[in-house]
Structure 1
């Protein structure tokens, strides 16, 4: 019996937009502006704008993919279609790790703010959760699973309500700080870019900015449960990203202006907070706002984690159906219409992030570095689909420019990240690669499955090389901005090699017609896909 028929199509435009916004506006608004200001100073505003531009390009890529092949767990399946099992496995593994880390990220954010009411949950000196705090965070993660367990409809209603509520507080925060306690001199007193412009670029992946915007991916994950996906997916993505980009930029502006000038005696890197916006509100004698922000700190991360918990379970569902995980995890609970075994697995993996790392900042740094690779592969897949004739009339205007530009920027973001973070991300991909090779030889896959995704191996080697000799924790062989120019050119050229690699695979495989005819709305969809792969 095909399991996907039990996924219930309950999500329209508003629920889908709320899902995306729920993933984007989580704990990042509570911590991101502070972390970014510490790293970059006033130029932090540029970091949010650049990230929003890149993410919008990537979202348009996914919008087209969602129109061409709307599926539950689409992020995992698109690279499998275009480049085969090697790329599909590694991409799916990186997505999975990043998404599994999100629930502990958000729960740790809630507990950190809760430390104001129940001291002993968070150690300010060590900047990490205590043993009690970790236990409380674990209990909160259990709550995320329980809500999702009872189905898409309950999840949609719960998430929409939480999303509406939690947007009020950031808007109030922006208005209140603009009207009270805004110190315009903070923008010039220590220089616009006290740590250099490179710090603003590096902050995109390491301070929680990119992590915040990636919440849009939940829309793609839920593609198989969306009513009229060809219309609602692109509209929901564009609406949610546009709104959140403006909101985050304004939050960064008011944060920089809200810091008391005397706190900048040791520069922007010297500002210390445990609950950034709540602390600033108290300093500005806005006690009501401080309490409101603290209350919202309980809601915003919870809404985001609910969104990610739902999306990640669908990702595991798709991985299992594609043969990347045991078929045991492809089971759908017939009563509630959700992949409950996948929910449980993701909860356990999330604990592996929470227990050793113990803090919002530590987990976010890893998630940001790992996450960028999945978006680079999607930029390639969308053009491969066009070249082999799958897109037809579902294309988005300008994609021939959007996709290579997005891939190039994704490559630059990896390079701009500190070399130590890149190494961690690479290790994550290597583990996924090793996992596939084991599966490859056990299941006796054909060599074409490796050749089809060979560009990823070369891409990883290229990134290791340029990051190790670059200016963001590397050997600094070539000064900026010239090294960034070189990386951009290499990324742009490499993009077309990756597209060629995918076209070769799909034509050699000879399964283009089968993929085109595989419809997730039909009862035999996964049986057809199983014959394809």
Structure 2
């Protein structure tokens, strides 16, 4: 699965595709079918298609950046390369911290499913992890650390085997559910509920964040984090992104249909339609309700392997992003030290693991943590069209469209989650800028940091969609203009 180049192992297209696919079948597939139905009803399928199209557009922007800079942790470094490290700081932080938080979320998802399976409050009580639940989740985190400590060769070997199992389980689950559905001889009854009329296109758009679709798809960018360790990245990374998104979209669409049709019609009536459906562990509870105990056992096993495989891969990706930030001076330089044998930064891995453990210790529920994580993901995605437009001016109009869509998507975040994202990034950028004030000068720091922070806060205070479109377009055209890019680069040259 690898070839040698300059004495270093390189991952192939298959390994790169499986790395992304692995992270797109994490904890999301265990929860998102129910959440999407609750958010969007019959529009659930449109929600998946819209989410897939959006992440593919972001992926194509990112692929253009990687074709110019095929480096470790490319998304975190994108704006640092095309502008400077100060301008790129909020995107780097959002990318790193969003992926880091996923590591904790995946460990929590496994614990939540196990708690439901044993039917006890030993692990989770009042929708929060107990001390025993946190100890179990921390043990799962320790396993992620062990797998990552020996570099990409170990990671991809384990990952290629686990991915086969991870892809088999959703396919097996949806096949069994479809058999149940077609055996009933009343296909479509769950799609003709009177309450279904309450949903509309906007419901599908809101579900992209609220139901965890972006969270589920976020794995598309993992192959980009490993850019410098993948064979022929200019060709293989865009292919890996596209192939993984197409494959996983087909899986998720099929699973959504199977879930929505398999729920007993009477259960939906009793709960007042899709909005009232609230299984604690959706697929596991549904299998038990249908008397499919063999499927319940398989789902229980997968609730351990699927999130865990995403967790250890994300720990590897986040360590490479932290390494990339250290490399360009956004984090302490001592983190940018590679192990000569395994070609990884073990210091970055350890720092990320400790931070993931802290996040996990303070987390409440999977769904709440997932929404906040997604807010950071969207901010980090913004780096792709911005950097692409700066590096290749001919691509600015495509980048503008992608950026506007991301701005509109941020509007669907809960106001409390959006406030947390805006405030945390503002505080971090202010601290970082303060440390560089003597070197860069106050007026340059304002020019580098103020435009994006002003734009980010406008998303919090403005609710009108047309105003958001106008603000997004104005911001993007300003910061991707040749004058602004050259001004930022002039500081980078002296940095």
TM-score normalized by the length of structure 2: 0.92
Shift in alpha-carbon separation, 1:168–1:510, aligned structure 2, 3 A: closer
Match of 2:313 in 1: 307
**Residues 427 and 444 (structure 1 numbering): CA distance in 2 closer, same or farther, change over 3 Å?**
same
Closer, same or farther: CA 203–352 of 1 in aligned 2, 3 Å: farther
> Partner of 1:333: helix, strand, or coil?
coil
1:435 to 424, 431, 436: 431
Within 5 Å, which residues of 2 pair with 1:274-313?
A: 274-313=280-319
Instruction: State the Cα distance separating 1:449 from its structure 2 match.
Output: 5.0
The aligned runs of 1:19-38 (5 Å cut-off) are 19-38=19-38
Q: How far apart are residue 460 of structure 1 and its match?
A: 1.5
What is residue 49 of structure 2 aligned with on the other side? 49
Which residue of 1 is the match for residue 407 of structure 2? 411
Q: Deviations over 1:414-463 (max 9, x none)?
A: 11222222112112211221222222226556754542444312311321
Alignment correspondent of 1:85 = 85
> RMSD over aligned Cα, in angstroms?
2.4
1:435-514 aligned at under 5 Å gives the runs 435-441=431-437, 443-444=439-440, 447-448=443-444, 450-466=446-462, 470=463, 483-500=464-481, 503-508=482-487
Alpha-carbon contact 2:162-2:305 (below 8 Å) kept: yes
TM-superposed CA distance for 1:163, in Å, is 0.9
Query: Does structure 1 residue 353 correspond to structure 2 residue 364?
Result: no
Cα distance per residue 1:285-305 (max 9 Å; x no partner) = 222211111111111111111
Q: How many angstroms apart in 1 are the aligned matches of 2:46 and 2:484?
A: 40
Q: How far is the alpha carbon of 1:276 from its aligned partner? A: 1.0
Task: Give the count of matched residue pairs.
Answer: 484
How far did 1:192 drift?
2.8
Stretch of structure 1 that moved more, 52-61 or 329-338 = 329-338
User: Does the 8 Å contact 2:67/2:233 carry over to 1?
Assistant: yes
3-state SS of 1:72 partner: coil
Match of 2:375? Answer: 369
Instruction: Note the alpha carbon deviations across 1:350-397, whole angstroms, 9 max, x for none.
Output: 12221122321121011011210111122111011013xxxxxxxxxx
User: Is the Cα contact below 8 Å between 2:75 and 2:225 reproduced in 1?
Assistant: yes
Give 1:332's aligned residue: 338
With over 3 angstroms needed to count, the CA separation of the structure-2 counterparts of 1:266 and 1:351, relative to structure 1, is same
Q: Is 1:172 paired with 2:172?
A: yes
Distance 1:246 1:193 in 2: 26
Say if 1:418 and 1:314 are closer, same or farther in 2 by CA, change over 3 A: same
- 3-state DSSP of counterpart to 2:330: coil
Q: Is the 8 A contact 2:429 2:449 kept in 1?
A: no
Quote the residue 1:394 is aligned against.
none
Q: CA separation of 1:484/1:221 partners in 2, compared to 1, >3 Å: closer, same or farther? A: same
Cα distance in 2, alignment partners of residues 175 and 440 from structure 1: 57
1:159 maps to 159
The offset of 1:336, in angstroms, is 2.2
1:416 counterpart SS class: coil
After TM superposition, the structure 1 = structure 2 runs for residues 206-285 of structure 1, keeping only pairs within 5 Å, are 206-264=210-268, 265-267=270-272, 268-285=274-291
Contact 2:411 2:460 in 1 (8 A): no
Taking structure 1 as the reference length, the TM-score comes to 0.85
1:14 matched residue in structure 2: 14
Provide structure 2 residue ranges, at least 5 long, that are not aligned to the other structure: none
| Counterpart-to-counterpart distance in 1, 2:188 and 2:85 | 54
Instruction: For structure 1, list consecutive stretches of 5 or more residues without a partner in the other structure.
Output: 388-397, 471-482, 513-528
Give the aligned partner of residue 120 of structure 2. Answer: 119
2:459–2:468 CA contact under 8 A, matched in 1: no
Cα distance, 1:509–1:117 mapped onto 2, change above 3 Å: closer
Moved more, 427-436 or 363-372: 427-436
Q: What is the DSSP-based 3-state SS (H/G/I as helix, E as strand, rest coil) of the residue aligned with 2:26?
A: coil
Deviations 1:6-59 (A, max 9, x none): 994421101100111111111100011112222332322222111111111001
Determine the C-alpha separation between the residues in 2 that align with 1:190 and 1:127.
31
Measured against aligned partners, the alpha-carbon deviations of 1:88-134 in whole angstroms (never above 9, x if no partner) come to 1111111121111011111111111222148344436x222221111
Partners of 2:474 and 2:256 in 1: CA distance: 35
